[in-house]
Amino acid sequence: MLKYLFLLCTGILFLNSSAVQAQSLRLLEEPAVQHLIDKYVQYNKSQKKIDGWRIQFFASTDRRTMESTLRRMKNAYPDVKFVWTFNEPFYHVKAGAYAQRVDAIPLQYVLKKEFPGAFPVREELDVLELLENN
């Protein structure tokens, strides 16, 4: 019995090792397909903006209030990038720059302690800003 078990295990190991060695993949593609792939890569390299996420935590119609809040937050959280935008009639203050919404959630929880209405918003981000934040 032990002899048969040994032969079975040896046979399985031999078959597995020969199967791994026999695998090879050769990819042939049409020149037109390669041209499209090259164009796609070039287009992506030229993009300077990407859809991403920030946490919006403050909105006001008063610019002075927005500026004082922004200054206070920059002092309290020096490692976080803060930006403001103006969409008439509101000034919005946002924090962070993230590619994925799930990555922005920890900052949202931090900001909710002081600003309970903080929420993630989609925004077009500079690729370099996104790389600096991570």
Domain harbouring 127, CATH code: 3.30.70.1070
Q: What's the pLDDT at 4?
A: 58
Global pTM reads: 0.66
- Do the domain assignments include residue 103? yes
Residue located via tokens 């397909």: 33
- Do the domain assignments include residue 76? yes
Residue 59, beta-bridge partner list: 92
Instruction: Give the mean pLDDT of 71-89.
Output: 94
104 contacts 53 by C-beta, under 8 angstroms = yes
Q: What's the pLDDT at 76?
A: 93
Q: Say if residue 22's pLDDT is above 60.
A: no
Residue located via tokens 């078990």: 5
Q: What's the pLDDT at 44?
A: 75
- Do the domain assignments include residue 87? yes
How many domains does one find in the chain?
A: 1
Instruction: Tell me the per-residue pLDDT of 29-55, one tens digit each, with 9 for 90 and over.
Output: 888 888 888 888 888 777 788 899 999
Instruction: Give the mean pLDDT of 75-102.
Output: 94
Q: Residues near 23 by Cβ (< 8 Å), separated by ≥ 6? A: none
- Do the domain assignments include residue 119? yes
- Do the domain assignments include residue 106? yes
- Do the domain assignments include residue 39? no
Structure tokens at 125: 């981000």
- Do the domain assignments include residue 35? no
Q: What's the pLDDT at 86?
A: 95
Q: Say if residue 134's pLDDT is above 70.
A: no
The DSSP symbol for 66 reads H
- Do the domain assignments include residue 1? no
Q: Domain range holding 89?
A: 49-133
Q: What's the pLDDT at 120?
A: 97
Instruction: Give the mean pLDDT of 93-101.
Output: 94
Q: Say if residue 133's pLDDT is above 80.
A: no
